[in-house]
Structure 1
């Protein structure tokens, strides 16, 4: 391991050159005009893996191709790891806010030393190349990898992964493994690595309340006619009680308490909710009053109104009682909750409160359950040991309030658990202008990946 790490240190400049060559490809999956660029990025990954000694190929889908590469020289009894990443990136707009061309990567000075600035620097090209360079170091110094490894790179993660289920189904036999490693997450801070042990799921729904057959004059009909906006906002006002607890019947059914191990870990992180909220002009946690702030972020479900529309929206005033009103809502869900049941219960919550003459219609936009990792899984112990060896401190066991749909896809289509251990930072500006990846994070991430591969072998 000492020789492998020394090799990574000595070849950092060459590793950067390879990363920069990938960052120069504008593989924007959301924009059809860049379909050829996305394929070029896929081919870059395929050819790079093949040059390293992998059996690498493109796997075509009805959308953009996946990249699949295998290296099984470790032997049939070695643990089998499936590494997942994506080669596509977000659009760079608005271009006028970038300090340099988003597809002309720059190494610039920052408060923590040099940083890599480009679209895709950390999400996810930099993290993918960091892993590939760790593999390269093992292969250069020992001639093989310590584990059987399959690499899967997707080309549509940034536009909702519309072809991922197709790809996983098509390649199910080729993607068999013991677990999945995903490096598309963050550290706790610049010096503290992190393993993301839980994700919140998501259910999205739209409700429309309809009343009169047409918009009405509020003078001629006001006071006697049903106003759908009034009805909708009154009902939605009942979603939370005064303590922040959600009032949908059965909403909390199935939720397990946070393990003591995680609670102890969270209390040691020094999280300051006032400082966290201060960055967006707020100060006071607004979730369930009896929950820790980090639990509100990571381990408790939410019910949020994302938008309300109805009636007159233009300048000035228009004295109208609208014919209908619509609200869009999302529910962030935690392990144990049934997304379909939550949506059904929400519909009952609405319809049971409708006034006479009101009718409710619903649209659904998909639902996925929450995710939690088995803290006693063998790969979990190996990961914690490897990260502690590299950073000189234990990895923080963190949650994530958002959703990473690919994790559920691996569970559903392949029956595999996922280890989430990445090396980005909260201020890396992913999806924003001037996206960056700290050079130190890229470097230490490569070293940590090399240690992880060795630790998994044991």
Structure 2
């Protein structure tokens, strides 16, 4: 039997046992954003640590931070072989609104070969796959084809505020040849994807102040600046009618797409008509000269996320609003720097500030973009492992969203990051009725096992 066949037999024989163990993990309400679940977070961290010890992983620890704990472990006995650092998170989102759940969020149930529970897909189910893959290799081979380290955090859903400092402090301990993360998804059902890049994020809040208070529009209208009109002028200055961002210098450091990447995106044959129908819009809109996938994966954005000010109750109130504001976020791509972009935004706002108002700008949290080269041997090896199990070509994609800690890993540890996820966009992570398709749980275990053998034979 081949190595893959041996693993397949082990996973098939132990499937029910593994699903019950995963359900035990999912029953822990490890909600990181709610202080009343602090002990549950600790319980989940200890559960993970116990699992690692059961696998004979060494130097396992639950390391306290200024927030929630980091779980660490290692096995370093594959002499002369690469070292993989596995990352994931054991915290989950809140479950509100509870009445929309069809089953209890922390009482896992299986319906239609889908496992329903908070954290099933994001990210406990995928973290659990790392552990069971390691278990299978030890059980069938008695050893591992590569060296492994594990770092699992309990703060990803609140922006990983303490993990960068932990990584910086433990750089030597975390040294490896690559970081493997399973917290992304497939391109489509039955269509695997290796995500090799993520957009960064930065943003500001704009507050516009005019008179000392709202003014009567009959007495003062036409002679005093309206804060909302002033804000609207600023907002309108950000983009032209074609969707091109007008902030001076905004595109200066954008890393262009290679022709190989653009061709790979074209070959995905993305169905824009189906997307329009799904989200119920008449037409799509984005920066001219780029396809929808290029616009959402590899081009930067500037979006107005919220506008506030004036009177919005029933009926009409004839006032000149004294205050108005807006929240702006930008998705960034390599090689844009979040701090530089904020300074460019501030300069643009100052340049376009209308007369008669004062404008202040407040910064939000920032995350840098991330990219492992499309043709990197570790990325291509991941594609081969997916194809071996799914029997279809692997899509090589970038993610339109942001996982700030990925960029921090890249910056602090200077390692290639391989994102091998098994979720689907339809699985309601962060929403009621989160679930994980067990077809991808089953196949994902085999993909991960195969990838360790792929990595063990690479020279890089």
TM superposition score category, shorter chain reference: over 0.9
For residue 33 of structure 2, the aligned residue among 4, 14, 30 is: 30
1:67 aligns with 2:68: no
Within a 5 Å distance, the mapping from 1:107-186 to structure 2 comes to 107-109=110-112, 114-186=113-185
Contact kept, 8 Å, 1:215 with 1:320, in 2: the verdict is yes
Give the secondary structure class of the aligned counterpart of 2:294. Answer: helix
**Structure 2 counterparts to residues 410-449 of structure 1, below 5 A:** 410-449=409-448
Structure 1, unaligned stretches of length 5 or more? none
User: Per-residue displacement from partner, 1:236-274 (whole Å, max 9, x unpaired)?
Assistant: 112221211111111111212212222122112121122
After superposition, residues 23-422 of structure 1 pair within 5 angstroms as: 23-55=26-58, 56-75=60-79, 77-109=80-112, 114-422=113-421
1:312-352 Cα offsets, whole Å, 9 max, x none, are 23333222112221111001111122222222222222221
Structure 1 runs of 4+ off > 6 angstroms? none
From the superposition, tell whether residues 34 and 10 of structure 1 become closer, same or farther in structure 2 (CA, over 3 Å).
Answer: same
SS in 2 for 1:219: helix
TM-score using structure 2 length:
0.96
Q: CA deviation at 1:94?
A: 1.0
In structure 2, C-alpha distance between the alignment counterparts of 1:171 and 1:38, rounded to whole Å:
22
Cα distance in 1 for residues equivalent to 2:407 and 2:140:
36
Structure 1 residues 4 and 180 mapped into 2: Cα distance closer, same or farther (>3 Å)? Answer: same
Please state whether the residue corresponding to 1:195 is helix, strand or coil.
Answer: strand
- Tell me the C-alpha RMSD between the 2 structures: 1.3
SS of 1:419's partner is strand
Measure, in 1, the Cα distance between the counterparts of 2:435 and 2:67. Answer: 28
Distance 1:166 1:348 in 2: 31
Partner Cα separation in structure 2 for residue 65 and residue 348 of structure 1: 40
Q: CA deviation at 1:104?
A: 0.8
The worse-fitting range, judged by mean Cα deviation, of 350-359 and 245-254 is 350-359
* Consecutive unaligned residues in structure 2, runs of 5 or more: none
8 Å contact from structure 2 (residues 193, 396) kept in 1: yes
The CA distance in 2 between the partners of 1:293 and 1:357, in whole Å, is 40
In the TM superposition, residue 206 of structure 1 has moved relative to its aligned partner by 0.8
Indicate conservation of the 8 Å contact 1:273/1:283, yes or no: no
Aligned counterparts of 1:6 and 1:261: Cα–Cα separation in 2: 38
* Distance in 2 separating the partners of 1:27 and 1:256: 38
